Every structure is written in structure tokens, then in C-alpha cells.
Amino acid sequence: SAVISQKPSRDICQRGTSLTIQCQVDSQVTMMFWYRQQPGQSLTLIATANQGSEATYESGFVIDKFPISRPNLTFSTLTVSNLSPEDSSIYLCSFSGVGTEAFFGQGTRLTVV
């Protein structure tokens, strides 16, 4: 099965700073997805990242706060900018191949202090 690696696994950040999360897939995929999972909650899609084009953001999420890069078909980053305690959450990257299930990274647990 495909391997998807996400890092860091956790971080504690100061208010007002930014955190960049990296996601690496061991095969080429067209789209990658970034989700947020607040404590005890479900997964909410932040944006869809296509290689070579700007990410598509869901309602309530904006590029200035969550800039995304997708430089090639195996890699993507999500930055959470200008951190506040409300950003404390788990962030997960995901992809799915044709005819296969969606795979998730192991998640990044962000705590903002």
C-alpha cells in the first residue's frame, strides 16, 4: 500500500508565529488534501492541493491563513500562519489513488501557547 509521511508529528508554537507541515507520498498523486481535526471532533477539509495550480479552499479557510504549496506530485506543505490558541488542532494530509482508498498521514498535533 502507499506510504504517506507527515512531519512534524507534533509541535508547540508561540502565538503569532507560523508552523509549516510537510507531507511526502511515495508515489505520484494528482490531488492532495489537507484536513483539520479539532480535539474530539471530525475531520474538516481545509483545501485541495493540485500540482501546478493554486489550492482550492473550503468555506471558512483562506489562503493568507493556510498557504499551501504543491511543488511536485509527491510533496505538499501546509502553513498555519499567525497562530492563535484556536489553531490548536491536529492537521492531516491525505491522498487517494484511482480506485483506492484515501490514505492519511499520521497527523501533526499543534499546540499554540
Cell of 33: 488534501
104: contact with another protein by CB under 8 A: yes
Q: Side chain identity at 12, as an amino acid letter?
A: I
Beta strands across the sheet bearing 75-80: 4-7, 19-25, 75-80, 68-72
Q: Burial, 96: exposed, middle or buried (Cβ in 10 Å; 0-12, 13-18, 19+)?
A: middle
N- to C-terminal Cα distance for the chain? Answer: 37
Cell of 74: 509527491
Which position among 48, 51, 69, 81 is part of the footprint of another protein (CB under 8 A)? 48
Specify the stretch interacting with another protein by CB under 8 A; choose among 17-25, 35-43, 64-72, 76-84: 35-43
At closest approach, how far in Å is the CB of 36 from another protein?
11
At closest approach, how far in Å is the CB of 82 from another protein?
25
107: contact with another protein by CB under 8 A: yes
Specify the stretch interacting with another protein by CB under 8 A; choose among 14-22, 38-46, 64-72, 74-82: 38-46
**Binding region for another protein (CB under 8 A):** 30-31, 33, 41-45, 48, 59, 92, 94, 96-102, 104-107
